[in-house]
A and B are shown apart, each in its own frame.
Chain A
Amino acid sequence: MRDLVCDMASSLTVRDVKITRKGKVLLDVAHLSLDGPGPTLILGPNGAGKSLLLRCLHGLIAPDRGRIEQDGVPLSGAHKSRQAMVFQQPVLLRRSVAANLDFVLKRQGLSWGQRKARIEDLLTEGGLDGKGRQSARSLSGGEAQRLAILRALALEPETLFLDEPTSALDPSATQMIERMIQRASRRGVRIVMVTHDIGQARRLAADVVMMQGGHVVELGVARQVLDAPQSDAARRYLAGGLVT
C-alpha cells in the first residue's frame, strides 16, 4: 500500500485509527495520507467505514485509538476551521436561502456589504440566482444540496468533505453538483468525497481509496485503481459484484 503522492503543501494523515462499537470493528486504518492535488474519492459498500472515516478526518468523531494529523501535527480547532463538510442529507437552517449563506459569512466577520456581494456571487455559482429570499426548506433535493455545498464553500475551506452528496439525486442534478465540485477543486480546494457511484469516481477522482469492513483495501491514482485493481475486494466491487 502506498501513500498518495502529491505536490500540495498541506497533508491530511490518518495514523493507526481504530473505532470499535459493541466489539465490532467499524474502522481500522493503520496509515492513510490524503495529500493529492485533485479530488480523492472514497469508494466501498455500505458499512465499509467510508462516512466514519470522513467524520474522523473532519474531527466530528474522535477515534478510540490513533489520530488524524494535518501537516504532521494532530488535527486542531484551527485546522478544523479550515475544513467544511457536506452531508448526504443536506441540513439547512429553517431560514431563507440567502440567510443560510449569511449565517456562515457573518461568523467570518464580514460587513453587511461584503456579505451581500458574496451571497450574490455564491448564488450565481450554485445556479440559485433569484432564489435568495425563498425558504431553504422549499428547495428541491438538488437545489438544497447545492445550497449546502455553497454554504460549505462560503467558509473558504482548504478541504471540503462530501458524504455521498448526490446519492438521492437524478443525473441532471448530479451533473450540476459535480461541476461545482470540479470548479472548487480547480480553485485549490482539496476535495475528499464518499461515493457509491463508480461512474462518478471515474468522472471526478484524481485518487481513489477503496474500503471494505472498516479497512482501506486499496488506494492510488484513480485510473490505476479503477482500471486495474489489485485486491479481490476492489475487483469484485468494481465488477459490480455483491461485496459486503
Chain B
Amino acid sequence: MQGFASEFNSALGLILTGDSELWAIVLLSLKVSVFAVLISALIGMPVGAALAVARFPGRRMLIVLMNALMGFPPVVVGLLVYLMLSRSGPLGVLELLYTPTAMIIAQVVLVTPIVAALTRQVIEMLAEEYSEQLRSLGVSRLASVPVLLWDARLALVTALLAGFGRAIAEVGAVIIVGGNINHVTRVMTTTIALETSKGNLALALALGAILIGIAVAVNAMVSTVSLRAEREGLRHA
C-alpha cells in the first residue's frame, strides 16, 4: 500500500513539475487525435448529411453499415491499416507505417463512422422539421445540406467531442500502426500499457490521471453543448 502511495506521489510530481517526457507524450496524443477528428469531420459530416437528405436505392443498407462500423474492433482497424501501409501493402510506398500519420489514419477510420452516424441522426431530425419551409423558400435538397449543417452546429459539436473521446482513449489500433516508438509514436494510452508492463507505475499513473482529466473535460463540454442544443430545440437521439 505504501509503495502504491509513493508511486502516486511520484505521478503527481511528474505532472506538477512539468516533466518534459510526460508532456511531450500528452501533446503528441492531443495532436494525433485532434487531427484525426478534424479529418473525420471533413469526411463524416458531409457523408452523414448526404445520407440524411438524399434518397437513393441502398441508402438504408449504407446506414446499417455505417452504424455497424461504429462498433468496429479497434485492433481489427489497426490490422487493416497496418496491411494497407506495410511495405507490401498498396500504400507501402508512402512509408507511413510507425509514424504519427499512420496513427491519425487509424483514428480517422475509427472516428469517421461515429461522426457520420451522429451527423445523419441530427440532420435527419432537423431536415424533417425544415423540409417544407426550405422547399417553400426555394432551397433545393442539395442546397439544404449546408443550411442544415450550420443550424445543427451545436449538436454536431457534441458528435465531434464524442469522436474525440473515442480517439484519445484508443489503444489497440495506434499501437499496431504506430509501434509505440519512444519520442516518435508513443501516446498516452500506449505508454500507459507499456510502462505498466515494465512496472513504471508513476508515469503510467500520471498519464492515466491526465487521460481521465481530458475525458471528464470532454464530457463536461458535451453536457454543456448538449444543454445549449436542447435549449435551441435540437439534440441528437
For residue A94, CB closer than 8 A to chain B, the reply is yes
A80–B152 alpha-carbon span in the complex (Å): 27
Interface magnitude class on chain B: 10 to 19
For residue B138, CB closer than 8 A to chain A, the reply is yes
Residue of B nearest to A163 (CB): B132
**CB <8 Å contact, B138 and A81:** yes
**CB <8 Å contact, B132 and A87:** yes
Q: B129, B135, B138 — which one has the most chain A CB atoms within 10 A of its CB?
A: B138
Given contacts A93-B147, A94-B234, contact A155 B137 (CB under 8 A): yes
Chain B residues whose CB sits within 8 angstroms of the CB of A137 once the complex forms: 231-233
**CB <8 Å contact, B234 and A85:** no
- Interface residue SS majority, chain A: mixed
A147 to chain B, nearest CB (A): 12
Given contacts A91-B130, A94-B233, A137-B232, contact A84 B136 (CB under 8 A): yes
Considering only residues 56-95 of chain A, those with a C-beta below 8 Å from chain B are: 58, 60, 77, 80-81, 84-85, 87, 91, 93-95
Considering only residues 215-243 of chain A, those with a C-beta below 8 Å from chain B are: none
Number of A positions contacting B (CB below 8 A): 20
**CB <8 Å contact, A87 and B232:** no
Residue of B nearest to A91 (CB): B133
Residue of A nearest to B154 (CB): A94
Chain B residues whose CB sits within 8 angstroms of the CB of A2 once the complex forms: none
A98 to chain B, nearest CB (A): 15
A152 to chain B, nearest CB (A): 8
**CB <8 Å contact, B234 and A60:** no
A95–B139 alpha-carbon span in the complex (Å): 17
Nearest 10 A-B pairs (CB), nearest first?
A91-B133, A94-B151, A85-B136, A94-B232, A81-B138, A137-B232, A93-B151, A60-B132, A137-B233, A60-B135
Residue numbers of A with Cβ under 8 A of B are 55, 58, 60, 77, 80-81, 84-85, 87, 91, 93-95, 103-104, 107, 135, 137, 151, 155
26 contacts between A and B (CB under 8 A): A55-B132, A60-B132, A60-B135, A60-B136, A80-B138, A84-B136, A84-B137, A85-B136, A87-B132, A87-B133, A91-B129, A93-B130, A93-B147, A93-B151, A94-B151, A94-B152, A94-B232, A94-B234, A103-B137, A103-B147, A104-B137, A135-B232, A137-B231, A137-B232, A151-B137, A155-B137
